[in-house]
Amino acid sequence: MVFLSLVSEEQDAGNHTLLTEFVLSGLSSHPELQHLLFFTICLVYTTTLIGNLLICKVTVHPTLHTPMYFFLRVLSFLDISTASVVVPKMLVTFVSEDRRISYKGCVTQLYCVVFLASTEWYLLAAMAYDRYVAICSPLRYAAIMNTRLCLSLVLLCCCSGSVVSVVQTAWVFTLSFCEPRKIDYFFCDIPPLIVLSCTDTSLYEKQIVSATALVIFTPFCLILLSYVCIISSILKISSAESRHKTFSTCSSHLTVVTLYCASGTLIYLQPKSSNSQGAKKILALIYTTVIPTLNPLIYSLRNKEVKEVLIRTVAVLMKK
């Protein structure tokens, strides 16, 4: 509440009129597609919730009490949270003429989206470090990746994500916004808010590029370095079957990293590129809605242990 009050005071000081709300344009401006999109996104969201809740339940199984599955459980929680911050309001825009979002609602949504996205990126780096230790130092794995370190890494990811989010959200809402304050997007995000600004945003755009480097490229470089070492170790394994099993475990993580890196980079490296707003909506839909749905499939279908426990869990649930 203190954070929202500070942002509101800064905004009021920069504007002559009190800013109380924005209007979201939604995902599509075609009326004939609204109901189809509603049911499609609703199905995807339901799948996201079910899939990630199953992962959370499965990974507490005694046979999966390892750091890798602990991080996977945290990732599933972040995916559920990301989808839940964005999708419900998006569904309302499909079926209602009232697409307004309050000023404080917009601030809160932006803070949550940036916090969750940043935290997830740092978590992916922590997961890469876990795989690095497991493959490159297997004899010391249990000693290094103990419960205290795993909890500390997750806490560090959350704190880093919170700092990034507070700075970015506060900075965005110091800008003055033009009438009619219609956000050409389906949720409050940095690029469409910058486009809506009446003030010079060149300095802020440079800052966004720097923040993108900090949040995306720094973890990506750490992940890349980890996997260079991992692949080097995998190639030294004499058994072809062992090499395949080890690489299969890592390939799930690499797939997720690639999806996040591609969508996040294309959206935030050119924050005020209005001529590609339609493409940015699709990319934003991918990282806020589609990727959270795919993560359970990527990690379960490529992981024999998760798949076996998942099948047993679903069988037990169906019997009930």
Is 26's pLDDT higher than 80? yes
Output b/e per residue, 230-248; b: 16+ Cβ within 10 A: beeebeeeeeeeeeeebbe
- pLDDT, one tens digit per residue, over 129-157 is 998 998 888 889 999 999 999 999 999 99
Terminal Cα distance for the chain, rounded: 43
Q: CA 35, 90, 279, 81 torsion: positive or negative?
A: negative
Higher pLDDT, 274 or 87: 87
Tokens coding 247: 């690489």
Tell me how far apart the alpha carbons of residues 175 and 165 are, in angstroms, rounded to a whole number: 16
Residue 15 — pLDDT band, cuts 50, 70, 90? very low
Binned at pLDDT 50, 70 and 90, residue 40 comes out as: very high
For residue 176, pLDDT beyond 50: yes
Question: How would you class 8 by CB atoms within 10 Å of its CB: exposed for 0-12, middle for 13-18, buried for 19 or more?
Answer: middle
Instruction: State the pTM of this model.
Output: 0.86
Residues constituting the chain: 320
pLDDT band (50, 70, 90) for residue 13? very low
> CA-to-CA distance for 194 and 203, rounded, in angstroms?
11
CB of 289 closer than 8 Å to CB of 44:
yes
Contact 236, 263 (CB under 8 A): no
Maximal CA-CA distance, the chain:
71
Q: Compute φ and ψ for 238, nearest 5 degrees.
A: -75, -35
Q: Compute the distance between CA of residue 256 and CA of residue 293 in angstroms, rounded to an integer.
A: 11
Report which residue type is found at 3: F
Q: Cβ distance 234 to 214 under 8 Å?
A: no
Rg (CA), the chain: 21
